[in-house]
């Protein structure tokens, strides 16, 4: 993701523009909010449960 390459501000997965509010909050964002939410949901589903002591 690079300004020089002309792809800054576009989601690496979907190619859709990343919202301005998201870029202002996190200028290094590589994914749009929708794709990032999907990735976090999948990550949460496959996370190993921890045991309480």
- What is the number of structural domains in the chain? 1
pLDDT at 45 (0 to 100): 85
Q: What are the average pLDDT values for consecutive 10-residue runs of the chain, which has 53 residues?
A: 81 95 94 95 82 63
pLDDT of residue 35: 96
Give me the pLDDT at residue 24, please. Answer: 95
pLDDT at 47: 76
Give the predicted TM-score (pTM) of the model: 0.71
CATH number at residue 17: 1.20.120.910
3-state DSSP call for residue 10?
Answer: strand
**Domain encompassing residue 4:** 1-53
Q: Are 15 and 8 in contact (CB under 8 A)?
A: no
């Amino acid at each position: 993701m690079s300004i020089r390459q002309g792809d800054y501000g576009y989601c690496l997965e979907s190619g859709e523009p990343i919202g301005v509010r998201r870029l202002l909050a996190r200028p290094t964002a590589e994914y749009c909010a929708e794709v990032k939410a999907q990735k976090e949901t999948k990550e949460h589903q496959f996370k190993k449960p921890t045991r309480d002591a």
